[in-house]
């Protein structure tokens, strides 16, 4: 029994503790990125990025392990697992986009998921410094550049059409959430009101506000054009 366990440990291409360390570091990097997304109230946040980084690191370790154990006399491509991870993350990123359910939103979060998978693969391969640098660069892009984009590369405005039950208090709540917006049209008919807002467009901030609008009692539908 002990001999079998010893064999399992000895077959690793590096000490077992180092594999555990790589998975832990990957989880840490993914968690930091996920916290930034969570803070901006994106659907893919802390847990999603952490789990994704751990899974990517594990598969990277497996892709190293298989050739080292079974590679003798066998045609093994160690890059195949990693390439499938990169392809598979596309489906997860698409889910982050579709879940917004309003317009084409969540592209930044989808890109952060894809990059987090790459960081996890790099950590699994033992590339700690490069992974750390990539994590820091990604945080700069997600945090600081959004402010730069909002100030200097503004994408203009969007029109938000909200249909609500024509009851007192709903319009006031809408104006509080879309505080930077301008109401330019209100249509009332059949106990409902169509309210049109012109709001500054910044993907993450606007998406967060629209989710708050959908949670309001009395909101029937919402559309962005």
- Whole-prediction pTM value? 0.63
Taking all residues of the chain, what is their mean pLDDT, rounded to a whole number?
Answer: 77
Q: pLDDT tens digits for 119-158? A: 999 999 999 999 999 999 999 988 887 677 666 665 567 7
> 187 phi and psi, to 5 degrees?
-115, 130
Superfamily per CATH, domain 157-224 = ACT domain (3.30.70.260)
> 182 phi and psi, to 5 degrees?
-125, 125
Query: Which of the pair, 160 or 104, is modelled with greater confidence?
Result: 160
Q: Is 180 helix (H, G, I), strand (E, B) or coil?
A: coil
How far apart, in whole angstroms, are the C-alpha atoms of residue 49 and residue 27? 8
Contact 52, 116 (CB under 8 A): yes
Query: Which of the pair, 151 or 87, is modelled with greater confidence?
Result: 87
Would you list the domain boundaries of the chain?
2-152, 157-224
Distances from the Cα of 117 to the Cα of 2, 36, 84, 164, 221, angstroms: 36, 16, 11, 41, 35
Q: Is 168 helix (H, G, I), strand (E, B) or coil?
A: coil
């Amino acid at each position: 029994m002990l001999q079998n366990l010893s064999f399992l440990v000895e077959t690793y291409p590096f000490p077992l503790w180092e594999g555990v360390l790589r998975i832990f570091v990957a989880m840490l990097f993914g968690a930091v990125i996920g916290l930034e997304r969570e803070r901006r109230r994106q659907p893919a946040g802390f847990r999603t990025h952490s789990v994704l980084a751990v899974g990517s690191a594990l598969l990277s370790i497996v892709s190293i392990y298989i050739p080292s154990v079974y590679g003798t006399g066998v045609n093994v491509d160690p890059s195949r697992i990693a390439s499938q991870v990169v392809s598979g993350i596309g489906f997860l990123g698409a889910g982050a986009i579709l879940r917004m359910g309003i317009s084409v939103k969540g592209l930044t979060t989808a890109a952060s998921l894809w990059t987090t998978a790459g960081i996890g693969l790099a950590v699994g391969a033992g590339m700690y410094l490069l992974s750390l640098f990539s994590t820091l660069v990604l945080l700069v892009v997600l945090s600081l550049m959004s402010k730069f984009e909002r100030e200097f590369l503004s994408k203009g405005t969007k029109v938000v059409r909200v249909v609500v039950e024509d009851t007192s208090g709903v319009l006031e709540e809408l104006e509080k959430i879309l505080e930077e917006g301008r109401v330019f049209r209100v249509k009332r008919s059949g106990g409902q009101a169509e309210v049109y807002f012109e709001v500054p467009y910044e993907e993450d901030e606007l998406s967060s506000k629209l989710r708050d609008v959908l949670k309001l009692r009395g909101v029937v539908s919402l559309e962005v054009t």
